[in-house]
């Protein structure tokens, strides 16, 4: 609380002025409405406190209890009635968010001396309210071990709803593997900031990370899918040109992958699995001989267990053969299993940087592969910018559930894609890539996207409707994402160092209203995340752009 006094005089409100957040309340992402009733006393959580929940609120209450039992050492039973922290999920709950009808993920949170009240129409809304409550408690609330603290929650009224449903973070576990426990730590640390999508980049040139079985193979399909992980689960990025250690090898069994999906779902995070095709496919090509023809581009020998990489970011050298029927058999089988394992609304087919193929061959591939994947999975497809360049000839039905993920390139194609009914997820490399160095002195990371300083202010100062050149309408934006590529990044602590604080900036961009975004206000709120990350054991970069408390 000492640092709070220092900042109290410095709080500069957002453009809206009147609703500036008080310095001792520092919620990220910034809620739509936050009011402090004058003179109201705080709620104090004590040893005898309980969490009150029924029906769909019980699971949300149990999640909160799990964390607070660890940090407070209190028993915190989840009960059906009584005083304490009350969580209500009711599809017809009567409340408004800044005067508007409640959107699906919305919630209201009231705190006064008598207790805490979180009300939402959906469990996801209540979960969001709980993430806000965690940030109203002292930082020690994030501790994995009991701490003696003054567990007070300031009296407040919050009304909140997200601007976009898709607020994503991508982990590249292909270049360097992260195991189930590491992925769970990412889900924990990121869902605190209301991340709603975890995009897993599961296969690339350097490795294949998800078990695919031969079950349900199409008649006559000669491929042994188990070779994907048996061979390419043992390869990873090498360190050429970098100080990084060797990339980590490994893969998820289907049971482990299901465990990730279950863990994510419990925290209202949707998993979007990506297998990158037709480029970035060296790992598949060298595991499956039948995919190699004179038109596929070279499968490299992993030899030492690492795949060569020239250190400058060589990509786009590998490709599936777009003329081969078996290519589509392969793609359909892989994505059908992935969709079944995931149960989410999208599969991501990658589609980036198929440089060696040339445009025409690439368009032929996408034109045939996308409908095949949609038919095999029954869910929507996502692809990187380039896939918009090929999708233009697709027929009826194609655009429903089709999402383009903008990372770089021409805005024209993306705008056209959206105009036809597709949606965009915006993750412009220069404003959201978590693998880029913060400064030239950052010991890990790449530098190609983000020249000079690539710190949280740069990753905060953008809007998904204007970042794509020419602009896209708000209704065409599904949301935002911050991808964490791992050519140079090893394991969860290094990943957290690159993600925080920048991921918090991108997730606020996905959640908060554009007119409420204010870098001075954000920097003050961000500074107060420092002790929370420290208490939680989450690594972060102490950016000189914030005055860490
Ligand atoms: C470009 S972004 C890539 C990735 C690399 C990344 C490194 C995109 C769709 N493709 O293959 O990992 O740059 O920053």
Instruction: Please name the residue whose Cα sits nearest to atom 8 of ligand 1.
Output: 352
CA of 395 to the centre of ligand 1 (A): 29
Closest C-alpha to ligand 1, atom 5: 485
Whether residue 283 contacts residue 235, with contact meaning beta carbons closer than 8 Å, is answered with yes
Residue with CA at minimum distance from ligand 1 atom 6: 485
Name the E strands within 205-345: 207-208, 236-237, 270-277, 306-307
Residue 205 CA, ligand 1 centroid: distance in Å: 12
**Ligand 1 mutation pick, 313, 445, 451, max ligand atoms within 8 A of CB:** 313
Task: Tell me what pLDDT residue 243 has.
Answer: 59
pLDDT of residue 214: 98
Check: CB of residue 511 under 8 Å from CB of residue 162: yes
Closest ligand 1 atom to 433 CA: 14
Q: How far is the CA of 81 from the centre of ligand 1 (A)?
A: 51
- pLDDT at res. 72: 98
Which ligand 1 atom lies nearest to the CA of residue 486?
Answer: 12
Whole-number pLDDT of residue 242: 55
The backbone region for 315, taken as left when phi is positive above 0, alpha when psi lies in -120 to 50, beta otherwise, is: beta
Angle at 160 between CA 159 and CA 161, to 5 degrees: 145
Distance 485 CA to ligand 1 centre (A): 7
Nearest CA to 40 out of 110, 107, 98 is that of 110
- Looking from the CA of residue 405, the nearest atom of ligand 1 is 9
Q: Whose CA is nearest to atom 4 of ligand 1?
A: 485
Atom number of ligand 1 nearest to Cα 350? 9
Residue bearing the CA closest to ligand 1, atom 11: 315
Spacing, Cα 127 to ligand 1 middle (Å): 32
User: Which overall architecture, per CATH, does domain 166-511 show?
Assistant: Alpha-Beta Barrel (3.20)
Backbone φ and ψ of 146, nearest 5°: -60, 135
Two tokens at 170? 């991508």
Q: 46: which 2 tokens? A: 């004590």
Q: Which two tokens stand for residue 129?
A: 């309210």
Fold of 35-160: Chitobiase; domain 2 (3.30.379)
What is the spatial order of strands in the sheet that 33-35 belongs to? 33-35, 156-160, 107-112, 115-120, 85-89, 51-53, 78-79
All CATH 3.30.379.10 domain ranges in the chain, comma separated: 35-160
ipTM: 0.94
Dist. CA 366 → ligand 1 center (Å) = 19
- The values of phi and psi at residue 89, to 5°, are -115, 115
Minimum-distance ligand 1 atom for the alpha carbon of 385: 9
This prediction's pTM: 0.94
Task: Find the Cα–Cα–Cα–Cα dihedral 21, 24, 30, 34, rounded to 10°.
Answer: -50
CATH 3.20.20.80 intervals, the chain: 166-511
Q: What share of the chain is helix, strand, coil (3-state, %, to 5)?
A: 35, 20, 50
- Residue among 182, 274, 322, 353 flagged as catalytic: 353
Residue nearest to atom 10 of ligand 1 (CA): 352
List ligand 1's pocket residues with C-beta within 6 A.
315, 352-353, 384, 407, 433, 435, 446, 485, 487
Provide the pLDDT for residue 223.
98
CA of 320 to the centre of ligand 1 (A): 18
The whole-number pLDDT of residue 301 equals 53
Locate the ligand 1 atom nearest the alpha carbon of residue 280 and give its number.
Answer: 11
Of 485, 495, 502, the one to substitute when testing ligand 1's pocket (max ligand atoms within 8 A of C-beta) is 485
Q: Say how far apart CA 26 and CA 46 lie, in whole Å.
A: 22
Tell which residue, 66, 171, 154, has the closest CA to residue 110: 154
Cα 245 to ligand 1 centre (Å): 19
- Low-confidence residues in the chain, pLDDT < 70: 1-23, 239-244, 299-314
Alpha-carbon distance 407 to 168, whole Å? 13
C-alpha separations of 51 from 92, 194, 370 in Å = 22, 21, 47
Instruction: Give yes or no: 353 in active site.
Output: yes
């Amino acid at each position: 609380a000492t640092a709070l006094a220092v900042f109290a005089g410095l709080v500069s409100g957002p453009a809206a002025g009147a609703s500036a957040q008080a310095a001792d309340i520092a919620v990220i992402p910034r809620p739509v409405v936050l009011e402090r009733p004058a003179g109201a006393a705080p709620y104090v959580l004590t040893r005898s406190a309980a969490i009150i929940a029924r029906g769909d609120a019980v699971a949300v209450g149990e999640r909160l209890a799990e964390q607070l039992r660890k940090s407070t050492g209190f028993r915190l039973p989840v009960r059906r009635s009584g005083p304490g922290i009350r969580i209500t999920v009711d599809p017809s709950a009567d409340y408004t968010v800044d005067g508007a009808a409640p959107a699906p993920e919305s919630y209201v949170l009231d705190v006064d001396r008598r207790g805490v009240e979180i009300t939402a129409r959906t469990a996801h809304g209540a979960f969001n309210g709980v993430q806000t409550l965690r940030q109203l408690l002292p930082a020690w609330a994030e501790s994995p071990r009991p701490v003696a603290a003054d567990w007070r929650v300031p009296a407040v009224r919050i009304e909140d709803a997200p601007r976009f449903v898709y607020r994503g973070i991508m982990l590249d576990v292909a270049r360097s593997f992260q195991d189930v426990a590491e992925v769970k730590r990412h889900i924990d640390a990121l869902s605190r900031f209301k991340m709603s999508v975890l995009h897993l980049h599961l296969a690339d040139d350097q490795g294949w990370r998800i078990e695919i079985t031969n079950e349900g193979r199409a008649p006559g399909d000669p491929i042994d899918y188990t070779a994907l992980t048996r061979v390419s689960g043992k390869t990873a990025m090498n360190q050429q040109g970098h100080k990084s250690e060797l990339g980590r090898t490994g893969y998820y069994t289907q049971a482990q992958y299901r465990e990730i999906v279950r863990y994510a779902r419990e925290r209202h995070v949707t998993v979007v699995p990506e297998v990158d095709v037709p480029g970035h496919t060296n790992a598949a090509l060298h595991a499956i001989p039948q995919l190699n023809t004179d038109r596929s581009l070279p499968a490299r020998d992993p030899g030492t267990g690492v795949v060569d990489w020239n250190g400058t970011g060589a990509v786009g050298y590998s490709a599936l053969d777009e003329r081969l029927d078996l290519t589509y058999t392969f793609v359909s089988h892989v994505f059908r299993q992935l969709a079944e394992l995931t149960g989410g609304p999208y599969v991501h087919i990658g589609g980036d940087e198929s440089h060696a193929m040339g445009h025409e061959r690439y368009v032929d591939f996408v034109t045939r592969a996308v409908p095949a994947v949609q038919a095999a999975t029954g869910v929507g497809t996502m692809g990187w910018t380039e896939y918009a360049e090929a999708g233009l000839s697709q027929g009826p039905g194609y655009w429903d559930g089709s999402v383009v993920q903008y990372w770089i390139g021409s805005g024209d194609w993306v705008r056209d894609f959206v105009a036809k009914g597709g949606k965009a997820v915006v993750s412009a490399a220069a404003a959201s890539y978590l693998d880029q160095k913060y400064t030239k002195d950052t010991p890990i990371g790449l530098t190609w996207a983000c020249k000079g300083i690539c710190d949280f202010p740069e990753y905060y100062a953008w809007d998904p409707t204007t970042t794509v050149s020419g602009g896209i309408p708000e209704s065409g934006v599904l949301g935002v994402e911050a991808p964490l590529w791992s050519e140079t990044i090893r394991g969860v602590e290094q990943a957290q160092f690159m993600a925080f604080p920048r991921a918090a900036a991108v997730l606020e961009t996905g959640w908060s209203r554009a007119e409420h975004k204010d870098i001075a206000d954000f920097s003050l709120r961000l500074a107060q995340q420092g002790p929370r990350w420290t208490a939680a054991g989450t690594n972060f970069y102490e950016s000189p752009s914030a005055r860490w408390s």
